[in-house]
Structure 1
Amino acid sequence: MLTQTISAFMTSHHKECDEQFAQAEESVANGDWTLGSKQWQAFSAELEKHFTREETILFPEFEEQTGMTGGPTQMMRMEHEQMRALVNEINTASENKDKDHFLALTETLMITMQQHNMKEEQILYPMTDQSLSNAVAIVDKMKRN
């Protein structure tokens, strides 16, 4: 049986979130608010699930085992808060069916997510794979949450 690395598991979840995001954005761009709102809510829930996995499971384990509490995980948490604020603004635009504002905000969120994910995928996740002796258990725990 192949064991899944933290990098592989979390990068795969980034891709799933990206696909949901693109579907919601496309539906709204096409004027289908019913489908777009439903897709947006599904994406938002999945994004929050991702952040929560990192903030409650992965980051604390990494910080505990490496002693690094003020470095990459602190930056990732700050970026999570920035993205949460954008999601809240996008929720308002969605509720108001303000297509132009929705699409402008989602463009900002997409750029922010791409930069954030690149840092995690190229720096933080490989660090966790190398540093955490219990990576398999961490992936299993994240799968359950």
Structure 2
Amino acid sequence: MTTISDFLAPDHQRCDNLFAVAEAAAAHGDWDNAAREFSLFHDALLHHFAMEEEVMFPAFEARTGMTQGPTSMMRSEHRQMTDLLNQMADAMARKDSNSFLGDADTLLIIMQQHNMKEEQMLYQMADQALAGELDEVVGRMRALT
């Protein structure tokens, strides 16, 4: 049986790695590579959000009845990060390294704090609350494309 923690925490690392490659390319002014790598990161992060918001959060909320707790905060942080992604995409299109890298710094801080809260609190709570249906929930997250 795969837990939510076992499934989603490595995806954080995958997104972080994609982010680092895109940021490094932009920092070196390699805009073609930066655009390609940023697109991969952008898509991976939005897919991660979708797995949580479309599958895991609703399952957790249905099981616990908590709709204004940690999942609400995580959704709010997802919106913040999505706004930054959009700003970064705009900076990328303009090849504005100062704006891109400034927003990247902000995004990195938010992602690190967000991931820590999910990995150390929410995922463990979800693993416990959804213990009887982990295979089904993880399977539905895997199925999202």
Q: TM-score range by the shorter chain?
A: over 0.9
Q: Distance in 1 between matches of 2:26 and 2:67?
A: 40
Amino acid at match of 2:42: S
- Deviations 1:65-109 (Å, cap 9, x if unpaired)? 011111000000000001010001000000000011100100000
Normalised by the length of structure 2, the TM-score is 0.97
- Deviations 1:26-81 (Å, cap 9, x if unpaired)? 01111100000110011000100000111110000000001111100000000000
Among 44, 47, 50, the residue aligned to 2:45: 47
Deviation, structure 1 residue 140: 1.1
After TM superposition, list the pairs within 5 Å mapping 1:13-92 onto structure 2. Answer: 13-92=11-90
Q: Distance in 1 between matches of 2:9 and 2:108?
A: 16
Q: Distance in 1 between matches of 2:6 and 2:105?
A: 26
Deviation, structure 1 residue 129: 0.4
Among 96, 99, 106, the residue aligned to 1:98: 96
Amino acid at match of 2:31: W
| Structure 2 alignment gaps of length 5 or more | none
| Counterpart residue number, 1:139 | 138
SS in 2 for 1:70: coil
Normalised by the length of structure 1, the TM-score is 0.97
Runs of 4 or more above 4 Å deviation:
none
SS in 2 for 1:69: coil
| Counterpart residue number, 1:113 | 111
Q: CA RMSD in A?
A: 0.6
Q: Distance in 2 between matches of 1:103 and 1:29?
A: 7
Aligned residue pairs: how many?
Answer: 143
Percent of aligned pairs sharing the same letter: 47
| Structure 1 alignment gaps of length 5 or more | none
